Structure 1
Amino acid sequence: MKHSIFQALTERSFLMLWLGEVVTQIAFNLFNFFLVLHVFTLTHSNIAVAGIVLSFTLPSVLFGVVAGAYVDRWGKKRTLFITNISRALLLVFLAFAHTNLILIFLISFIVSIITQFFVPAETPMIPLAVKREHLLSANALFGIGIYASIFIAYIISGPLIILFGKVVTLLIVAGLFLIGALFIHFISINAKKPASKEKVVVDIQQTFATVLSKKPVYHAIFLLALSQVIVLIMAVITPGYATDVLKMRVEDFPLRFIAPAALGVLVGAVLIVNIFHSLKKDVVINAGLLLAGMTMFLMSYGSAMNKIFTITAVTPINILSFLAFILGIANSMIFVPANTTLQEETRDTSRGKVYGVLNTMVGIVSFLPVIIVGSLSDIVGVGRVIVGIGGILVLTGSIRLFLSR
């Protein structure tokens, strides 16, 4: 098949990068889920859990752009390798000090700071590891890797702790970081280390100027940030959606929602590479925004959905799973072409800084909405909040569609 999602995997360097990404993302998400469960077990305090979440989200705001500037100076492969080794060593140390709450918070914060250097080195490596004609395929596979790793980590975090205990679980996660570093070691690229003579502050100023001066770049950053912020907001309100709207156990939600959404991301990525590859990226993105918005409108009906669909065998939970699947497809339609555009429109010498800007933007933009949405859900109900999010997506897609005419 001329257009296949697996085209990029035929290039050895990308295969090593992708395997390194999947293993590393599973390790990082496992660590985050472990921290939430472990801190709650130690303290039985929601404030402590909020603190640990803040410890691995705040560094993106504080260090995202600066980390991107240094990544472009140090070299991306080297940064990926060192950050994985560093995180593995920190987790080995934590395994033997996992009852000390202060150390847990400190190591969580340090690991997250190190991760800020990993993020702007990871995705910008894609154009260096594949031919230009395989870029869409590579980004589709990367999108699958990101969402699949979250799902896998979410599912296995609890059983790992139950079966092996906390010490062994931390050592397993450390081992995954080391395996990720091993895959990265086998990447072979010809990128030259940039010899920037500018100060980091000047470098960052020039990056912001570049982002703001290039319409495709700032549009892509906005879309990627919007996509990731929506995912974070959904993570905040979905437990309440499961219990209050659908009247289901929150423990059943990952299988009913996250699993079909992850499958939707996979199907969406395949559709983009195999069928939608001849369409303009903006057309695919706008369709994804409208599809996501309309899907969320339907989701807001919750337990009343069985009154809309008269087939008795179809329950609201079955409908939810289908809508989650569609939402996954829509997310792919936004993420894959926007990411590809960002890579095509930036140079290797500045790509790390641009992704650093994206990382910081997600941290800043998500902070207030996540807090507001959580409070609004308690006041006006989860269903109405979901309608509001759907409205924002439909409005964004409609405006983009109108402006592109």
Structure 2
Amino acid sequence: MSGSSLNNSEPTRPTEGNAEGPRGLQTVVRFDGFRRLWIGQIFSQLADKFYIVLMVYLIAQYWVTSTPQENGALAEIASAIRMDFETRAQRITLLATGVYVANTIPAMVLGSVAGVWVDRWPKRRVMVASNGLRALLVLFTPLFLLPGPHWLGLSWGYWALLVMTFLESVLTQFFAPAEQAAIPLLVPKGHLLAANSLYQATSMGATIVGFALGDPILRGLNNLFQLVGLRGGEFLLLPFCYGMAALCLSTIRMREQPRSQAGESVWREIVAGLQVLRERPSVRTAMVHLVLLYSLLAALYVLAISLASAIQGLGPTGFGTLLAMSGLGMAIGAVVVAQMGHSFSRRRLAATGLGAITWSLVLLGQLRGNLGYTLALCGLLGLGAALVAIPAQTTIQEDTPESQRGRVFGLQNNLINIALSLPLVLAGALVSSVGLLPVLWVLAALALIAAVIERPWQRC
């Protein structure tokens, strides 16, 4: 493939011809359309993380009173769900849980429906509209701080915030499958592995940066605007990020196959998406890998608290250090897959990743209490997760017909969000009843079984 074709602004169609040549991150970022999509993803990912940080910031500043007695109704709710409500941090956690629930419900139930509409509409317009509407939506945030009626001891603004979070998550359900379905339209097939690796690495980077720097950035904007006599500087961060994402995505040029599906019902199209999983074993297997992987990672979020509590000098509140190390491992794994993954079969990459996860979980139980070993094993677990997730995502993109990618990726979002939610509840309950070590062994056994099913010893 000639260098000039990599740098022009014409929309690139994946072909076997342009799949040849050097592969890796340095090549895939030279595709003009993908580069614009990637930059838009960075702004959108950062905005999603900053959104959660801003919600917690507002809850702490405006809706958590200094004494729990002033929120009697909330104290009753906390008692009903067996949650402590004595300290200010616990009250913030309770109200933040409402934000998490409002954000999660659309992700669990709307993915398939949104995916159907993504297949019907031009994907660039869907991505631009979803980010543009989110930018407009968050502009209403300062209005929620105005005085007004109270329900359950909280101002109307908090409940309006939950409604806004719900709507913001609904728009995200349209953006996510459109974004994933757009990648194969902008990147030749031979470079999809590198493209997904880059997405995985930047996603982890956005998560770390967004959560780590979100609060300092918000406070810095607030202080900066106060220096010139203005208030509310913190409310400009989200519209800026979502707006920049919409602007970058609006410049993408992309050719899609014409659609003529207006006569079909949404339900029939969802069933058609399920039919893809039944007819294409490679897509089905990749989807199972992703669901299993995200279930294991969600369980790790809970188990990290117990692991951190056993480490002297870290304690339960230091669980974020372990998760950050897993994120770093995933980022490193993404770079490794991008540069060398095309030299290995997908089956062996998945089996290797699942094997690394298995050993990490087993040794985490045996070596718990040692900070150095625990950090190293968390990093290894993250690296293994990248070896599973990126080839699986690439396989789904390659083997799903273009006309059905939206609904398949919508279904994928449904399943992944359920996989992320259920273990958060089950893992905590199991650790409380049987202890940490048996739970780690059960998770390791699941990963080992999945690795053996791949039969990596056979020729691919």
**Quick one: percent identity of the two aligned structures?**
24
Offset of residue 326 of structure 1: 1.4
Aligned position for 2:191: 134
In the other structure, the counterpart of 2:301 is 235
1:91-123 per-position Cα deviation (integer Å, ceiling 9, x unaligned): 111133247111111111111111111111111
- Find 2:165's aligned residue among 108, 114, 119: 108
Bigger Cα displacement from structure 2, 357-366 vs 43-52: 43-52
**Which among 380, 387, 390 is matched to residue 336 of structure 1?**
390
Aligned to 1:312: none
Structure 2 letter corresponding to 1:391: A
1:121 aligns to 2:175 (yes or no) = no
Select which of 200, 211, 216 maps to 1:154.
Answer: 211
Q: Could you tell me which residue of structure 2 aligns to residue 5 of structure 1?
A: 25
Alpha carbons of structure 1 residues 158 and 365: separation in structure 2 relative to 1, 3 Å: same
Partner amino acid, structure 2, of 1:371:
V
Match of 1:203 in 2: 269
**Any gaps of 5 or more consecutive residues in structure 2?**
1-20, 65-90, 146-154, 223-230
The one-letter amino acid of 1:180's match is: A
> 1-side partners of 2:392 and 2:386: how far apart?
10
Q: CA deviation at 1:303?
A: 4.1
Judge conservation of contact 2:431–2:439 (CA < 8 Å) in 1: yes
For the pair 1:72 / 2:119, whether they are aligned, the reply is: yes
Q: Choose from 303, 318, 327 the match for 2:372.
A: 318
- Mapped to 2, the partners of 1:348 and 1:129 lie a distance apart of 12
* Distance verdict in 2 for CA 1:380–1:174, change over 3 Å: farther
Alpha-carbon distance between aligned partners in 1 of 2:255 and 2:192, rounded to the nearest angstrom: 17
- Is 1:296 paired with 2:361? yes
Equivalent AA in structure 2 for residue 398 of structure 1: V
Number of aligned residue pairs: give it.
393
User: Which residue of structure 1 aligns with residue 257 of structure 2?
Assistant: 192
- Cα deviation code 1:226-271 (max 9, x no counterpart): 22232323223323432245551455444x3344333322321232
CA contact (8 A) 1:242 1:249 kept: yes
Residue 48 of structure 1: how far off its partner (Å): 2.9
Alpha carbons of structure 1 residues 204 and 303: separation in structure 2 relative to 1, 3 Å: closer
Q: Is the 8 A contact 1:16 1:184 kept in 2?
A: yes
Greater relative contact order structure (CA < 8 Å, 6+ sep):
1
Over 3 Å counting, the alpha-carbon distance change for 1:362 and 1:158 in structure 2 is same
The match for 1:356 among 410, 419, 432 is 410
SS in 1 for 2:24: coil
Any idea what SS the aligned residue of 2:385 has? Answer: helix
Note closer, same or farther for the CA distance 1:162–1:377 as it changes in structure 2 (3 Å cut): farther
Q: 2-side partners of 1:390 and 1:22: how far apart?
A: 33
- Counterpart of 1:212 in structure 2 is 278
Asked whether 1:386 is paired with 2:429, we answer no
Note the alpha carbon deviations across 1:279-313, whole angstroms, 9 max, x for none: 11011011101111111221223544xxxxxxxxx
Q: Is 1:48 equivalent to 2:91 in the alignment?
A: no
- Give ranges in structure 1 of 5+ residues lacking alignment: 305-315
SS in 2 for 1:192: coil
SS of corresponding position for 2:454: helix
| Corresponding residue number in structure 1 for 2:110 | 63
Higher CA-based Rg: 2
Shift in Å, 1:53: 1.2
Closer, same or farther: CA 368–264 of 1 in aligned 2, 3 Å: closer
Distance in 2 between the 1:36 and 1:379 partners?
31
Aligned-partner Cα distance in 2 for 1:335–1:343: 12
Counterparts in 2 of 1:246 and 1:200: CA distance versus 1, 3 Å: farther
In structure 1, the residue matched to 2:82 is: none
RMSD: 2.3
What aligned pairs does 1:13-24 form with structure 2 within 5 A after superposition?
13-24=33-44
User: In structure 1, what is the Cα distance between the partners aligned to 2:158 and 2:211?
Assistant: 23
After superposition, the Cα gap between the structure-2 partners of 1:195 and 1:386, relative to the gap in structure 1 and judged at 3 Å, is same
User: In 1, distance between residues paired with 2:127 and 2:264?
Assistant: 23
Give the aligned residue type for 1:322. Answer: A
